[in-house]
Amino acid sequence: MDMRTRVNTALKQAMREKAAARLSTLRLINAAIKDREIAARGDGEDASVSDSEVLEILGKMTKQRKESARAYEEGGRLDLAAREREEIAVIEEFLPRQLSEDEVEKAVRETVMETGAESIRDMGKVMAALKSRYTGRMDFGKVGPKVKDQLCAGGGC
């Protein structure tokens, strides 16, 4: 079952169960997917959104909510922070399991070797390969410095 179908099935189930908070989050996910389709249509591309694009959308939504929750906590709005965390929990149901730190390190090492990257100039090539394989399974903001460290360890800085 593709990601779009999974989201729609969960949406229908939430409607049946009258789970208002869950339903709201699922509608936000659907709206984000439709926005991507509309943008693709405007660019003259195929209007359907692939599973990897849906994973990318979900990853961005999760990151935004984590930042919002942190900001709400700093502002003393714990009720709003809790609501953001509830939305994160719903979104993460559709994301694949996140890789552990050890798995991320191993993936970076393997990708550097596979791409033949030798210097910091090859960082884009390594990051592109990682994104194609691990979209939704690792935080690329945290992976960037690991790739840089790996490339610098090989004397490429």
> Domains in the chain, ordered, with CATH?
3-92 (1.10.1510.10), 101-153 (1.10.10.410)
Average pLDDT over residues 13-19: 95
Confirm whether pTM is higher than 0.85. no
pLDDT digits (tens, 9 = 90+) for 129-142: 998 888 778 888 88
pLDDT digits (tens, 9 = 90+) for 27-51: 999 999 999 888 888 776 666 788 8
Of the candidates 68, 90, 79, 88, the residue with the CA atom closest to the CA atom of residue 22 = 90
Q: Kindly tell me the burial class for residue 17, based on how many C-beta atoms sit within 10 Å of its own C-beta (0-12, 13-18, 19 or more).
A: exposed
pLDDT exceeds 90 at position 100: no
